[in-house]
Amino acid sequence: MKNILIKNARVIDPKNNRDEVTNVYINKQRIAAIGTAPEEFNADNTIDAQGLWLIPGLVDMSARLREPGLEQKANIETEARAAASAGITTLCTPPDTDPVIDEPAVVELIHHKAKQAKQSHVVALGALTAGLKGEHLSEMATLKDAGCVGVSNCKNAINNTLVLRRAFEYASTHNITVFIEAHEPDLSANGCAHEGPIASRLGLTPIPYAAETAPIAQILELIRDTDIRVHFGRLSCARSIELIKEAKDNGLKVTADVAAHQLHLTEMDISSFNSQCHVLPPLRTQRDMEALRLGLEHGVINSICSDHQPHELDAKQAPFPATEAGISGVETLLPLTLKLVENKQLSMNKAIASITCNPASILGLDIGHLSEGAPANICLIDPDKEWTFSTDEMLSHGKNTPFSGWNFKGKVVTTLLQGKVIFNE
Amino acid sequence: MVNKATRPTDNLLGQDLWNIQLDENGQLKHFLTIEGLGSNILTQILDTAESFAGVNESIKKVPLLRGKTIVNLFFEASTRTRTTFELAAKRLSADVLNMNISVSATSKGETLLDTLRNLEAMQADMFVVRHADSGTAHFIANHVAPHVRVLNAGDGRHAHPTQAMLDMFTIRRNKGADFGKLRVAIVGDILHSRVARSQIHALNTLNTGEVRVVGPKTLIPKDIEAMGVNVFHNMQDGIKDADVVIMLRLQKERMQGALLPSEQEYFELYGLTEQRLKAAKPGAIVMHPGPINRGVEIESSVADGPQSVILDQVTYGIAVRMAVMSMTLGGNRAKSNQEEAS
């Protein structure tokens, strides 16, 4: 299909400050024009989008696809297909695969598998240190050449602060963004619940706020007076937002994201030992949840991600502390984000930006917007469709979600990647 | 909050902690935690235990659970506790199967669910479960066949409800049924103690006048006040005018985790000595769930002294466990017998 015309959609494009009902013209995988047809444009295919919303294809900052190494949980093909059905056109996978993404061959393998799947695009973060062991620097420049959009040590500790400082300096030398999942393993001590009344009552090993805030404060001090770009992912504490805000006010190039589930669940949700709510960082208090929402509205937090972690059934079928942490989240990223808009907890513009242009910009990708000439990555949504999310209908290989049975308003109808339909309901 | 109305319908997940222990008539079905059980149930347990206490002394055996199979499923080694459950089951004429499963064995492939299914196939009627992970008893209760009952013999740091009930039994026998006038101090490692958590729930449900916990900040869990206790860090203040002093066992490994500097300093600050016990009310009773570390949390002369009821606790343990077993397992049969008679 060469030329596509999408007619009469409500086009919401936060990056270009656009929110109007109009036509979108696609030519050769790219957006040719919005509003008036380009000269000599003959549509090979016309989509009548009357009553639908048209937004840029979603960009998910953090989705574990489990390949290579953990294929019993999921693989790139299944997860990219699930993502496409949920309007996501670009997934970013962290480097804690097996083998770790610390050499070009692994990056190539992931790119190859994603290409074969012909679903959502997949980009990768490389390891910050070799094997994520926190001892030696990874070959960051080589990883960047191989296509990595940044580097991260995931939740693995770097015990030697000098190694951490040098890792930042080296990444900065090569203009590479460092992605941090702030998590101090000594402080969290294999815990599984927020340190507070619920964990104390249930006798679950607690994870204090400081397990997240202490490393953030330390890193912000280490990167003072540098021009390095650091992204803090999966924040859970109100105090973290204060720290990030102060750093931003001081001109540091820091950005932040939050997992969608952290905006809807709190520590109360584990009070019946519901292992589907076992996540890391843990679900915290109502106050923290409100602070995270406000952080988004005020722009301190830039992005919402799925923090997708699909698991096999057995991983969640055990006593709470023995279960694996994480939620299979790609299919609830958009519904949970739209729910915030519906509940008037987040403006439409901020909500859409936080799952499209903002994460794209943090990953250094020129996508997530509908400018002329941009790749035609598009998500069409029926905003009035009321539906019930159910594990039975999930496409992800991982059915681990606490949101089964939740009612949502607004559902993806069609997803286009570079002008090609990769999902159509 | 996960909305209750929109929870998954399959009963594998998300069952409420509170309701799963009771059947549709509000009778005890599983015994997993004190939390969520009313004073009526707790009093029923104590009264039933009182009726069995006589059995222990004279008759030795009653036929209440004849033909029933009780499986002691212990993932944590504990000869003492297992023995009292075994004895309780035998005095009710049940068949008993002891399974000691080391955690390493289950980690070698067979999941906890596999183990359960295998044992269920042997026609088990009740699992008595002890496990190092908090929430294990709930997990098992959520997954067993409908007729199978689950009794928590200790899960992680979460709950040890039969221990708490035998402690309540001991208090009631010594101090009378009116808990409202009592002040109870629980001293030591509250952080790691499932016994303390269950005691706190039981004492508050029975309307105890004041419940205190005493220990250094490293051994007191955060926001424990929310469970209805007053927190003391000074031993002298903490046991002042107490009617009941419950000492908890201090595990040796607490020194490794930098929670305490040494056993000597702990005994110096929190050990129960004759001298220190004078701060409590005259006639206060001293309790301990055992096994005792003499010279670490308690002085020998106190443990063996006139105010100690530690050996009573062990004796009452059997009657209380008989009570819970007969209420959960024999209840339905007893009721249907009644119906037939009427």
Q: What's A75's domain CATH number?
A: 3.20.20.140
* pLDDT tens column, A216-231: 999 999 999 788 999 9
CA distances from B212 to B186, B238, B282, B310 (A): 6, 7, 18, 20
Q: Counting beta carbons within 10 angstroms of the beta carbon of residue B275, is it exposed (0 to 12), middle (13 to 18) or buried (19 or more)?
A: exposed
- Rounded mean pLDDT, A85-109: 97
- Rounded mean pLDDT, B114-141: 92
- Assess whether pLDDT exceeds 90 at residue B110: no
Phi/psi for A22 (5° steps) reads: -160, -175
Domain-located, residue A331: yes
- Rounded mean pLDDT, A283-301: 97
The token duo for A246 is 């102060």
- Assess whether pLDDT exceeds 80 at residue B6: no
Q: Hey, are the CB atoms on A320 and B35 less than 8 Å from each other?
A: no
Please check whether residue B312 touches A, CB under 8 A.
Answer: no
Topology agreement, domain B4-160+316-341 and domain B161-309: yes
Distance CA B195, CA B213 (A): 12
Q: Percentages helix, strand, coil for chain A, rounded to the nearest 5?
A: 35, 25, 40
Q: Counting beta carbons within 10 angstroms of the beta carbon of residue A425, is it exposed (0 to 12), middle (13 to 18) or buried (19 or more)?
A: exposed
Position A225 scores a pLDDT of 78
List Cβ neighbours of A372 (8 Å cut-off, separation of 6 or more): A31, A32, A33, A34
Contacts of A319 in chain B (CB under 8 A): 112, 131, 133-136, 138-139, 155-156
Position B116 scores a pLDDT of 87
- Assess whether pLDDT exceeds 50 at residue A259: yes
Q: Hey, are the CB atoms on B223 and A203 less than 8 Å from each other?
A: no
Question: Is the Cα dihedral B301, B304, B305, B307 positive or negative?
Answer: positive
Position B119 scores a pLDDT of 85
- The superfamily in CATH containing domain B161-309 is Aspartate/ornithine carbamoyltransferase (3.40.50.1370)
List Cβ neighbours of A195 (8 Å cut-off, separation of 6 or more): A206, A207, A208, A209, B222
Q: Hey, are the CB atoms on A317 and B222 less than 8 Å from each other?
A: no
The full set of domain ranges for chain B reads 4-160+316-341, 161-309
Domain-located, residue A219: yes
- Assess whether pLDDT exceeds 60 at residue B107: no
Domain-located, residue A147: yes
- Rounded mean pLDDT, B70-89: 91
Catalytic center residues of A: 307
Contacts of B156 in chain A (CB under 8 A): 203-204, 319, 321
One of 3.10.20.30, 3.40.630.30, 3.40.50.1370, 3.30.70.2740 is the CATH number of B4-160+316-341, namely 3.40.50.1370
* pLDDT tens column, B206-236: 999 999 999 999 999 999 999 999 999 999 9
Q: What percentage of chain B carries pLDDT values higher than 90? A: 73
Contacts of B157 in chain A (CB under 8 A): 203-205
Q: Which residue of B has its CA nearest to A189?
A: B257
Q: Where in the sequence is the domain holding A200, given as residue range(s)?
A: 58-362
Question: What integer best gives the mean pLDDT of chain A?
Answer: 96
Asked whether this complex has an ipTM greater than 0.90, the answer is no
**Domain count within chain A:** 2
Position B341 scores a pLDDT of 40
Domain-located, residue A370: no
Same domain membership, residue A153 and residue A68:
yes
The token duo for A351 is 């909500």
Position B236 scores a pLDDT of 96
The closest of A163, A170, A212, A217 to A187, measured between CA atoms, is: A212
Contacts of A195 in chain B (CB under 8 A): 222
Q: Which residues of chain A from 186 to 205 reach within 8 Å of chain B, CB to CB?
A: 195-197, 199-205
Helix B39-57 to helix B161-175 angle (10° resolution) is 80
Beta-bridge mates of residue A253: A229
- Assess whether pLDDT exceeds 60 at residue B2: no
- Rounded mean pLDDT, A154-183: 96
DSSP string, A92-114: EE-S-SSS-S-SHHHHHHHHHHH
Same domain membership, residue A347 and residue A265:
yes
H helix count then E strand count, chain A: 12, 19
Domain-located, residue A368: no
Query: pLDDT class for B59, splitting at 50, 70, 90?
Result: low
List Cβ neighbours of A277 (8 Å cut-off, separation of 6 or more): A265, A269, A270, A283, A402, B2
Please check whether residue B338 touches A, CB under 8 A.
Answer: no
Among A200, A268, A277, beta carbon nearest to B222: A200
Same domain membership, residue A64 and residue A99:
yes
Domain-located, residue A349: yes
Question: Is the Cα dihedral B251, B256, B262, B266 positive or negative?
Answer: negative
Q: Which residue of B has its CA nearest to A192?
A: B134
Q: What percentage of chain A carries pLDDT values higher than 70? A: 100
Please give the single-letter amino acid code of residue A97.
Answer: T
Query: pLDDT class for B106, splitting at 50, 70, 90?
Result: low
Phi/psi for A394 (5° steps) reads: -70, 140
- Assess whether pLDDT exceeds 60 at residue B16: no
- Assess whether pLDDT exceeds 60 at residue B332: no
Position B329 scores a pLDDT of 92
Same domain membership, residue A89 and residue A19:
no
Question: What integer best gives the mean pLDDT of chain B?
Answer: 88
Q: Hey, are the CB atoms on A274 and B223 less than 8 Å from each other?
A: no
